[in-house]
Structures are given as C-alpha cells and as structure tokens.
Amino acid sequence: MPALTALAAVVVMGVAASQELVSFSTQDGGLVYADLYGQGDHGVVLAHGGRFDKASWEPQARALAAAQAAVEAAPGEIDGLVLLAHSPIDEPERMKGRKLFITSRGDLDGRGVPRLEQIHEQYERAPGPKELVILDGSAHAQFIFETEQGERLLREILRFLTAGSNPQIRAIPSVPACTDIWVSLAAVTPRIKSGERPQFSAEVVNKTSHTTRVLDVRNGRRVDLQHTYFQLLVTESAGAVDVPIFISDPGPLSPADFLDLEPGARVEFRSIAYKLGLETLPRGDYEAVILFWRDPLEPPTTRCRSTAARFTVFE
C-alpha cells in the first residue's frame, strides 16, 4: 500500500511567529505536511476533515497562537483532546487525557441520522475527565466556524485548552454574592450514597424597593433555561470539582418565561435541574452554589452567586 500523505496545522504555544511549512514522517510510513504557527515546548495539532485542507485552520491557528493556550503535556503524551463531530473511535475507553466532545445538535450523517446519537454514545464510553458541548444548528465539524456558532466554538476550544495543568480542579468563576435579589440554595438530599444524584432547591427574594422580573422555572418548567441561567457549581476544599458535564444552548425566550417579583416577595424553585454528572463524586463533603442570571437579556456580568448548600457523599 502506498504511503499516505496527511495535512494538518500545528500551533506551538509560546511566542507567536509567522506561518511556516513543515513536514515529518509517521511510524507507518506516511508523510505529514503542516503549517506551523508560533514556537515553544507545547503545541496543539489541528487535524482537518475530509472536505478541508490544512489552510482551512489558519484563522483558528492564529487565534490559538495569539492566546498562548497552554497544553501541559510531557513529550509523547496527550493532555487534552478536542473531538469535533468526530467519526466513531473503536475503543473510546482507551483514550487518554482530558476530552472535549463538540457537535451541532442537527448535524446529520450520510444516512440522515443525527451524529449526536453516536457521539453521545462515544462520550459515555470514554473515561473522564470529559465534557460534551452541543451547539445549535446543523453545521458539521469545521463548517461550524462559518456559522453564527463559530465564535462560541472557538471560545469553548480556548477555554478547554487553557484550563490549566490540573484537570481535577476547575476554575471557580469570580461572581459576586447575590444581595438585592437574594438567592439561597438548599440541599434537598444533604446525604447521598455514592452513585446517587443530589437534589437542590432555590429560593429567590426581592429585597429591592421595586418590582423585578426573573426567569420563571417553577414546577420544573424550562429545564434548558435552568442549565444555563441557574448554573450549578460544586466545590470541595481544593476548588471546583471535575465531573462529567453536558453543555447545551438554551432555547428561545418569550414573555411567558418571566415572572414579576414584587418588593419583599419570594419564590421557590424546587428540584433545580443541572447537567453535571454528580453521581460520579467520590466520598466526601461538598458545597454547591448556583450562578444566578435573573434576566438573560441583561449582560452576564449581572450574574450573582447564591448561598452555599452543603451535602455529603458516603458509601
């Protein structure tokens, strides 16, 4: 069989540099041609799909080089792997390092079957740490960059690559405590067995002198809004815990999705929905908060942090 020739883009993290054409041989006799951006000891390999070439990665490669995204892997090791609407892997259980699975919700394969089904199955089989990001739309792989989801896709990749050298701890967002609109979180199940999912409820109190509108997620409605605008964060003494997470965009909003909270009024949201795989938590003591975004039409800087709810996982 003739040797195969592959093309890729390689971003080396360090001081940004101009593009350079490089090539190297593979163990199976193939030859890889790549465009090299930057210089340093660590790098990111951008491998294109069948309908693209190495030049198709240029905008993203330059953005990654400019951001100096740190991929903390020793020589010969893979620290982070981004799988963008990937084809099935024979043994995903053997994948190493942190993994970020990304696909569009409406992306269909050649048979007209949503790729999400197969990607979700691969995600479930892969060992952690891992994340699954589901974007709106139907664009496939690199075509996503040409859609309105392209900016978010690049942000998710940058966030993943710059997560740091310790994959066991996520950065805790610097969000101020809720004051004028008081938000308290309670653990409905303060003690759970290993393998169970803790349950939480939240109470929101309007401590201002004017009517304020907040999202209405009472009685379990609009769980898609809860995932984003009532974002649950679980911590232990070392920081935020690393657990499997599903990420999806919320659906459209309408006036019916809000309620007016009069001064001094309070509302309880029972059984807060979340997309963290907390059933994987080991034995220990934990705290949970929600990052509350009362009105998605306001900037995310208006988010605030609830009071903490404590819970224990035992065997």
The DSSP call for residue 265 is -
Residue 26 falls inside a structural domain: yes
- How many domains does one find in the chain? 3
Give the C-alpha separation, 165 to 235, whole Å: 18
Q: What is the pLDDT of residue 156?
A: 78
Task: Give the three-state DSSP class for 59.
Answer: helix
CATH (domain of 104): 3.40.50.1820
Q: How would residue 132 be classed by pLDDT, with cut points 50, 70 and 90?
A: confident
Q: Could you tell me the residue range of the domain that residue 130 belongs to?
A: 75-167
Q: What is the pLDDT of residue 39?
A: 64
**Are residues 119 and 240 part of one domain?**
no
**Are residues 22 and 89 part of one domain?**
no
**Are residues 10 and 113 part of one domain?**
no
**Are residues 302 and 253 part of one domain?**
yes
Residue 174 falls inside a structural domain: no
Task: Give the domain-ending residue among 16, 37, 69.
Answer: 69
Higher pLDDT, 127 or 49: 127
Task: Give the domain-ending residue among 106, 134, 167.
Answer: 167
Higher pLDDT, 152 or 238: 152
Q: What is the mean pLDDT of residues 286-298?
A: 86
Higher pLDDT, 25 or 122: 122
**Are residues 95 and 57 part of one domain?**
no
**Are residues 19 and 141 part of one domain?**
no
Residue 232 falls inside a structural domain: yes
| pLDDT digits 0-9 by tens, 84-101 | 887 788 888 887 777 888
- Side-chain half-sphere exposure of 313, counting CA atoms within 13 A: 19
**Are residues 232 and 210 part of one domain?**
yes
Residue 101 falls inside a structural domain: yes
Report how far Cα 130 is from the mean position of its chain's Cα atoms: 9
Q: What is the pLDDT of residue 260?
A: 93
| φ and ψ at residue 105, rounded to 5 degrees | -60, -40
What is the chain's length? 315
Beta-bridge mates of residue 214: 259
Residue 175 falls inside a structural domain: no
**Are residues 247 and 195 part of one domain?**
yes
Residue 176 falls inside a structural domain: no
**Are residues 273 and 161 part of one domain?**
no
Higher pLDDT, 225 or 13: 225
Give the C-alpha separation, 250 to 253, whole Å: 9
| φ and ψ at residue 180, rounded to 5 degrees | -60, -45
Higher pLDDT, 296 or 47: 296
Q: Is the pLDDT assigned to residue 19 strictly greater than 70? A: no
Q: What is the mean pLDDT of residues 32-43?
A: 66
**Are residues 160 and 237 part of one domain?**
no
Most confident of 169-173, 235-239, 283-287: 283-287
- Side-chain half-sphere exposure of 283, counting CA atoms within 13 A: 2
167-192 burial, b at 16+ Cβ within 10 Å, e below that, comes to beebeeeebeebeebbbbbbbeeeeb
**Are residues 259 and 213 part of one domain?**
yes
Q: How high is the mean pLDDT of the chain?
A: 76
Q: What is the mean pLDDT of residues 249-272?
A: 88
Task: Give the domain-ending residue among 167, 197, 212.
Answer: 167
Residue 198 falls inside a structural domain: yes
Q: What is the pLDDT of residue 44?
A: 65
Residue 159 falls inside a structural domain: yes
Higher pLDDT, 195 or 9: 195
Higher pLDDT, 41 or 267: 267
Give the C-alpha separation, 267 to 41, whole Å: 53
Q: Is the pLDDT assigned to residue 74 strictly greater than 50? A: no
Beta strand 258-261 with 266-269 is unpaired
Q: Is the pLDDT assigned to residue 307 strictly greater than 60? A: yes
Query: Residue type at 42?
Result: H
Q: How would residue 73 be classed by pLDDT, with cut points 50, 70 and 90?
A: very low
Higher pLDDT, 270 or 164: 270
Give the C-alpha separation, 183 to 214, whole Å: 12
Q: What residues have CB less than 8 Å from 51, skipping those under 6 apart?
A: none
CATH (domain of 200): 2.60.40.2970
Q: Is the pLDDT assigned to residue 12 strictly greater than 60? A: no
Query: Among 21-30, 117-126, 192-201, 235-244, where is mean pLDDT lowest?
Result: 235-244
DSSP alpha helix (H) spans, 109-248: 115-125, 150-161, 223-229
Quick check: 289 and 307 in contact, CB under 8 A? Answer: yes
Query: Among 26-30, 60-64, 222-226, 250-254, where is mean pLDDT lowest?
Result: 60-64
**Are residues 190 and 102 part of one domain?**
no
Q: Is the pLDDT assigned to residue 25 strictly greater than 90? A: no
Q: How would residue 178 be classed by pLDDT, with cut points 50, 70 and 90?
A: confident
Most confident of 13-27, 134-148, 229-243: 134-148
